[in-house]
Structure 1
């Protein structure tokens, strides 16, 4: 039989996003092993040295072995992910002919190194490894360089959850990718994000240089509803109402002082915070300027909206008197501060100002159909299945393989 490996033995400066393929004539493929050494980062042994990372750290995923997919008749094998830039790659393929005789072929080649200044890396991400989050939590990845080949980068990021669901990535600008599920996460489960970014060509000549793995947990189910008309905040946990607080929202005298309606998410919280209207476009000396010293603040948008203690507001539960925030008593604000996870949904109703999808984490303002339509690959990622829609490989088809073609060989 004849086994052919591409790239061929002895190749140099191979593009990291080139697929590794093995084809068999006169027999079938038994096994394909792809290993990498060197590369832009540490060798595989060093890359997995962080076996017990501290909470909040990302963990580099081992890149020493590359997985692949066999076709149904076991005559074609294609790698699933891209290769690490600047690495030495060894491919060993074995096969069997019709007479039962075995054949082994090896190809050794090297990949193109990423050029300084054109090395895509993650600048920040939310959540971080070790976090426990609310059921509405998106996965937010901020890159240090603009991404043009968004479909390839989307396809390189695999989301796996213990409870099956589906989601998709949307882009907000060229450097921020956001994964959101169709419905809220099922509570009390672990989620893993495998970011196979090493070797992905994000833009012309710009390659990812490192793989990452993100691990977080979804905690209990907690949702909050704030009614602008009744001046009440109702908190529901695991299907049961547990709190009903009197509140006071924005007075609505200006757009800036109007609380936004829609599905918000808790983003961050401060036990003590100075609120200066200059940070939201109302500078000192302007009508409506304020400078407040508040406690137990929980952010729900980027336009200056928090829930927080407002002991000076005598109209809690009666009227809306704030600059746009949700005012609460000190005791109630402290309870909400202490019992909120990042990513808890907070739905506000009754105002004539709608939360924008890119105002803070207003991602649930898009319907699922709209969210899916804004995904570059245009297909949902099922989180209980291996892989992701599309492919990060150069020239790869965006369509998924048929189920019969998904028998993987390591």
Structure 2
């Protein structure tokens, strides 16, 4: 037979379609395939297009033979060779002018097929499970159009790379018990540009449902506090829907975050420099008053409400942590402090005073900014109070600690809390 002629196409016999397979969705590329004649040797090849056909049906069917239906036109999303596909975005395969007979989406080089659902009309397949990050995928599909030829196709794509993933940490543990002044802090592994979208992805339920506010201390640190302190003995659930969220510059969240914690009894301590005492309240009732020593004139204690960050029965204190060297008049020998409760990241604590300071408790200030207490007072704060409880220092004449030097968020009025430029008494 001459190369320039082809036999008339013969329509295949009708057949039952196989049960639909489930798949996932890719970017937007359209492919049209059909059986047909080979091109004559030496004839120029056609330019590739988004929609292509391997053969063209005869313009006029042969006399006495039924016309062949046009092949199905199939569109897949994401597009072939797409990169950085968001794993939570479904893969979609659509057939126009026909029905899908098979769709298979698998990670490369191999793995379990991704589940999907076929629409009632058999024309659209949509993946129903999230994909993995930093993974190539291969999509195979086939479609039939009445008496027309079966079309098949394959495309590939890659999900968001590991270098573009974002995760987050939260400063409370699942099932933990905290004080009523606990501030929530989210720390992100990458800078956040779309801050408003991240805030909208956070849900806080319980704790008295006292609607609060957010404050960004940096592009990677977000805090939340309620309008008033959490209700005592309450349950709080915090959710961050980060998975698939574009935080900016193409960085995408790789997980959701869920934590539930509770508050204990209402604890509050007030340290008054005028009387040099610490008064502790439990559920609104005074539970004890103890003499204290505060920071000396060269190392005054900061003022304001401070949240207990951590506690330990013993803690090693070194003068080098304050950049002091031997021979400095403020130098002190390394020692283990007892019954320690941290108030600031920079190093203010409530702890048992050294033996040399016990005679001046309630009389003079000789510490490097800490609240020194008698043994029974430090033990009471350590044993009864917990992280998240508030210790307020007043009357030293010194400003408040920076709000991010620990959790000084309660010193910021709620109406100014979201204003990153607002400065208080620090």
Common fold, TM-score beyond 0.5?
yes
The one of 234, 241, 245 equivalent to 1:200 is 245
Q: State the match for 1:342 in structure 2.
A: 387
Residues 244 and 254 in structure 2, CA contact (< 8 A), matched pair in contact too = yes
How many Å apart are 1:285 and its aligned residue? 4.1
The one of 300, 309, 320 equivalent to 1:267 is 309
How many Å apart are 1:274 and its aligned residue? 1.3
Residues 85 and 112 in structure 1, CA contact (< 8 A), matched pair in contact too = no
How many Å apart are 1:235 and its aligned residue? 0.7
Residues 228 and 349 in structure 1, CA contact (< 8 A), matched pair in contact too = yes
Q: State the match for 1:356 in structure 2.
A: 402
Residues 16 and 112 in structure 1, CA contact (< 8 A), matched pair in contact too = no
- The question of 1:279 aligning with 2:325 is answered no
Q: Which moved more, 1:294-303 or 1:365-374?
A: 365-374
Residues 85 and 199 in structure 1, CA contact (< 8 A), matched pair in contact too = no
Q: State the match for 2:350 in structure 1.
A: 307
Q: State the match for 2:288 in structure 1.
A: 243
Residues 348 and 371 in structure 2, CA contact (< 8 A), matched pair in contact too = yes
- The question of 1:163 aligning with 2:208 is answered yes
Q: State the match for 2:222 in structure 1.
A: 177
1:147–1:246 Cα change, 3 Å: same
Question: Equivalent residue of 2:365, what SS?
Answer: coil
Q: Which moved more, 1:336-345 or 1:273-282?
A: 273-282
1:285–1:171 Cα change, 3 Å: farther
- Residues in 1 aligned to 2:211 and 2:268: alpha-carbon distance in whole angstroms: 21
The one of 209, 224, 227 equivalent to 2:269 is 224
- Residues in 2 aligned to 1:112 and 1:137: alpha-carbon distance in whole angstroms: 41
Residues 213 and 414 in structure 2, CA contact (< 8 A), matched pair in contact too = no
The one of 140, 145, 154 equivalent to 2:199 is 154
1:287–1:156 Cα change, 3 Å: same
Residues 85 and 160 in structure 2, CA contact (< 8 A), matched pair in contact too = no
Question: Equivalent residue of 2:185, what SS?
Answer: strand
How many Å apart are 1:174 and its aligned residue? 1.7
How many Å apart are 1:343 and its aligned residue? 0.8
User: What pairs up with 1:33-48 in 2 under 5 angstroms?
Assistant: none
Residues 84 and 199 in structure 1, CA contact (< 8 A), matched pair in contact too = no
**Structure 2, unaligned stretches of length 5 or more?**
1-25, 29-74, 91-104, 108-115, 117-129, 138-155, 422-426
Q: How big is each residue's C-alpha offset from its partner over 1:105-140, in whole Å with a ceiling of 9 and x where there is no partner?
A: xxxxx9972211221012x42111111000110111
The one of 115, 119, 130 equivalent to 2:165 is 119
Q: State the match for 1:297 in structure 2.
A: 340
- Residues in 1 aligned to 2:324 and 2:282: alpha-carbon distance in whole angstroms: 37
1:283–1:172 Cα change, 3 Å: farther
How many Å apart are 1:316 and its aligned residue? 0.9
User: What pairs up with 1:10-159 in 2 under 5 angstroms?
Assistant: 10-12=76-78, 16=86, 113-122=159-168, 124-159=169-204
- Residues in 2 aligned to 1:111 and 1:242: alpha-carbon distance in whole angstroms: 65
How many Å apart are 1:10 and its aligned residue? 3.2
- Residues in 1 aligned to 2:246 and 2:175: alpha-carbon distance in whole angstroms: 29
Cα RMSD between the aligned structures?
A: 3.1
- Higher normalized contact order (CA 8 Å, seq sep 6+, divided by chain length): 1
TM-score of the aligned structures, taking structure 1 as reference length: 0.64
Question: Equivalent residue of 2:380, what SS?
Answer: helix
1:224–1:289 Cα change, 3 Å: same
**Structure 1, unaligned stretches of length 5 or more?**
1-5, 21-36, 40-63, 65-82, 89-109, 376-410
- The question of 1:367 aligning with 2:413 is answered yes
How many Å apart are 1:244 and its aligned residue? 0.7
How many Å apart are 1:300 and its aligned residue? 0.5
TM-score of the aligned structures, taking structure 2 as reference length: 0.62
Residues 264 and 345 in structure 1, CA contact (< 8 A), matched pair in contact too = yes
Q: State the match for 1:42 in structure 2.
A: none
How many Å apart are 1:326 and its aligned residue? 0.5
Q: State the match for 1:51 in structure 2.
A: none
How many Å apart are 1:15 and its aligned residue? 5.8
1:7–1:180 Cα change, 3 Å: farther
Q: Which structure has the larger Rg over C-alpha atoms?
A: 2
How many Å apart are 1:17 and its aligned residue? 9.9
1:147–1:318 Cα change, 3 Å: same
